[in-house]
Amino acid sequence: MDSIGNIDTTPEFDENMRLVELYIVDLTEFQNLSKSSLRSYIPDIKSAAKTFAELGVTFPNIRKNDLKKFVSTINERTERPSGLSHSRMKYIFTVLNSMMEFLIYEDLGEINAIPGFRRRYLKSYKANSSQSTPRQVPSTEKLSEMIYDIFDPKTRALHLLLAKTGIRREEAINLDLDSVNIVEKYILTDPATKRSNRKIPFDSECADAIERYLRSSSSYPRMDGESALFVNQNGNRCDKNTMSRMINKPAEKHGIHDPTADRLEQHLKFGPHNYRHWFTTALRKNGCPERIIRILRGDAEGSVIDRYDHVTWEDIVEAYSACMPSIISA
């Protein structure tokens, strides 16, 4: 969305900005929102305050028709011919909804039209909007250069595990020490997570990296009873922001991640999910059967082995071993 810039103030703009400042105080002092989340929320809510003011409406008086005009206005201002992507629009409405919930809680507003509008209109918007620029898939050689340059055992282990298993960030966060079998080279994802309960193979260079990380456990003290495979500097399970930073920083150093890029400019960003794309692309490029790829990615529902023409664990390991390229020695 557009930045505030220099505009002639109106009563609606002044009132919206006053409410935004109250909202920011609440986020900062009472909601304990992280700095990264604040940096993400504040520009969007200020920009929305400006846009609604231009439409002649203050936050407490936003109704369905105002939201329709808001969507049309911000779409007209984007450089993308098809308008904002669904994911970007969804995020903006998440921020707006949080703002409206704050106003109602503080008796500064009475009606939140966001939830109903999202259910009714953003679903159809998704069907009609094109996606943002595709996520980048760096070459194996580029990943090799980056990972070879990572000297911290924990960070290197995370990079190789994401690359060699294609697991989601949330699945990596939820891995416990006993989720990993280094001898037989596989992980078990947490059965409590969505579409998981999977057994996924990895190769020797991934096993070596994880083993080196675990041997360096004295460098990564953990809280008593903490079972997480990846812990933060406080000895607790890594959260999503910590894990993303562990991926972003080496990628930025090697020119494949731009922290200033817009959310729509996915081709300029590199995070945990890019490894999932690399994983899929590498297997497909090397001739791995599509049904095996779906099983490895966890796209299948139910039992991942029995539902695909009686594919066995041995079949999965054989196909994976034949098609998963080496990274470090690339």
pLDDT at 310 over 80: no
Threshold 0.85, pTM exceeds: no
Average pLDDT, the chain: 85
| DSSP symbols for 262-277 | -TT-GGG---HHHHHH
Contact (CB, 8 A) for 327 and 205:
yes
Task: Give the model's pLDDT for residue 135.
Answer: 72
Task: Give the model's pLDDT for residue 302.
Answer: 41
- What is 11-128's CATH number? 1.10.150.130
Least confident of 57-71, 158-172, 215-229, 303-317: 303-317
The class of domain 140-323 in CATH terms is mainly alpha
Helix (H, G, I), strand (E, B) or coil at 234: coil
Q: Which residues make up the CATH 1.10.150.130 domain(s) of the chain?
A: 11-128
Please state the φ and ψ torsions of residue 294, each to the nearest 5 degrees: -65, -40
The per-residue pLDDT for range 11-66, each reduced to its tens digit, is 999 999 999 999 999 988 888 777 777 787 888 999 999 999 999 999 999 999 99
Q: Which residues make up the CATH 1.10.443.10 domain(s) of the chain?
A: 140-323
First to last CA, the chain: 41
pLDDT at 231 over 50: yes
pLDDT at 301 over 50: no
Q: Which residue has the tokens 């704050």?
A: 102
Q: Which residue has the tokens 């729509």?
A: 264
